[in-house]
Structure 1
């Protein structure tokens, strides 16, 4: 196995992709990808360019650098360094929205990059969301009141952490704190941290170094928890759907 084949195989696995799905992404046959990974043939420049754009690395790095060795040597201040993003798709090849309930939150920091773990999570779809990669998280605690504990926040995947916007809400997945939902202020360029602020003033803001961060998801929809002691009426369900559509319309108007 030569360096190019080793790198292509490594990059595919970082995406959590099979040869079948990765070859489709590249617009080539599965047999071609197999020959590249086994070192029986070398990809043309067009294919190398697609790979470089997909992972935001240079073609030269693919050709000359052992990427599996470099990963551990780079400090990732942007969040773009070869992170694994495991996803699932429905029968129409559309990405699902995986739900991380409270009981699964502790295991998510270890399983977030494992396709098998992600495949076991509950899944749903919101057809009127813009195309993208989304994940839903059950919120715990009272730090973001008036959002009630048990509510669901749907987040859009943030590939480049440098693009995090001050004062907006994000789900942060970190090594030590697990899953937190906060209002974020971006200090990556100045000191390599994010400032996390709660909407509940009882909780003090704090800084989180980017080295601690595993994933970032921008909050796009909130599904508020309904009081467990009351029956859910048809009118309430209709209002929930209307609220979701309103949130999506706001999202579209900002994009």
Structure 2
């Protein structure tokens, strides 16, 4: 039986470079001498103490099994981010991200509201307990108790008839494969791309098809690796009153007047 392949030292090098630490900086952060750390990274420490392995696992938020037995350099940045935020709850093969939440004094989940001024920083702060703790929190009646909810502001007219400036209450989607085609969702994108409110369909090629309710906007696709979170629409609130529907007879009259005006213009030109 071949000995199990261990990736500890190569993973240590990979994680250090990914975080842009020098060997000296990381050694100090871990409480090691430079010589001790360098020996581990270079593979000169044949059997690192279990306490050191656990410390490094906790420091990088990487499960110990993955730190030792998996080549982390082969994982996508998306999978690494999910592993870091999920740590022990990371589920191999299902790639499910574990959500950071806050709770009230009764140990019940809060509903956070992401105001416009905090919107641009949500993608970077959504896993940061301090960022989440600073968000406004509240409760709403008549929401199912088996989900996690947040409220997001929307902008623009791409989702009309849902008005510009509406606040969308949405339920966290743990497994994206459960989404039905054209499900209304808030999609949190990586980096500076902010988040969007669209009809979402998970396609066979692993991309997300994003459609607007307003047909004037063309559909587009987003790579799954560019997505951090998906929240399914539950309800929305707005301070804008709906415009009254135009009477059908009035529409017919407007069309007739336009036709009459066009005919008059043509007759005038032909004189």
Where on the TM-score scale, by shorter chain, does this alignment land: which range? 0.5 to 0.7
Offset at 1:177?
2.5
Change (3 A) 1:218 1:8: farther
- Write the distance in 2 (CA, Å) between the matches of 1:117 and 1:169: 26
Tell me which of 175, 191, 213 is aligned to 1:160.
175
Q: RCO (CA 8 Å, sep 6+): is it higher in 1 or 2? A: 1
Offset at 1:226?
3.4
Gaps of 5+ in 1: 15-61, 228-255
Stretch of structure 1 that moved more, 2-11 or 129-138? 2-11
Stretch of structure 1 that moved more, 195-204 or 97-106? 97-106
Change (3 A) 1:119 1:193: same
Tell me which of 108, 118, 138 is aligned to 1:104.
118
Aligned position for 1:122: 136
Aligned position for 1:185: 201
Matched, 1:223 2:237: yes
- Write the distance in 1 (CA, Å) between the matches of 2:170 and 2:108: 17
- What root-mean-square deviation, in Å, do the aligned CA atoms of Structure 1 and Structure 2 show? 2.9
Larger radius of gyration: 2
Offset at 1:87?
1.3
Q: How does 1:139-150 map to 2 (within 5 A)?
A: 139-150=154-165
Offset at 1:184?
0.9
**Number of matched residues?**
176
- Write the distance in 2 (CA, Å) between the matches of 1:7 and 1:130: 40
SS at match of 2:188: strand
Provide Cα deviations, 1:196-228, integer angstroms capped at 9, x if missing partner.
00001111000000010011101111112335x
Change (3 A) 1:92 1:116: same
Q: 1:158, 1:216 within 8 Å by CA — same for their partners in 2?
A: yes
Taking structure 2 as the reference length, the TM-score comes to 0.57
- Write the distance in 2 (CA, Å) between the matches of 1:205 and 1:184: 10
Matched, 1:202 2:216: yes
SS at match of 1:66: helix
Gaps of 5+ in 2: 1-49, 83-93, 242-271
Provide Cα deviations, 1:90-134, integer angstroms capped at 9, x if missing partner.
111111110112221111111111010011111111243112211
Aligned position for 1:19: none
- Write the distance in 1 (CA, Å) between the matches of 2:150 and 2:182: 21
Provide Cα deviations, 1:17-39, integer angstroms capped at 9, x if missing partner.
xxxxxxxxxxxxxxxxxxxxxxx
